[in-house]
Amino acid sequence: MYAANATHTGGWRGFTALFLAGVILLAQSLFARAWLRRFRYGPLEWGRRCAKWWERVPLRRPAV
């Protein structure tokens, strides 16, 4: 009987977790779009490129 209850997500708890995951995904998506509209690379990718090439890579997109 315990094993059957161990897999149950718990009604409102499961819904709340799913809703929170959706909100976080939406927020990350909006932030990424705003970031990539202004910059060429994400912050970790930019740091990795600078470390690999041993020089500072331009981060901002050129003004149009």
Distance (Å) of CA 33 to CA 4, 26, 29, 55, 62 = 43, 11, 6, 26, 17
Q: What is the pLDDT along the chain (64 residues), one digit of tens a residue?
A: 444 445 555 567 888 889 999 999 999 999 999 988 998 888 888 889 899 989 888 878 877 7
pTM reported for the whole predicted model: 0.63
Q: What's the 3-state SS for 27-45?
A: HHHHHHHHHHHHECCCHHH
Reported residue count of the chain is: 64
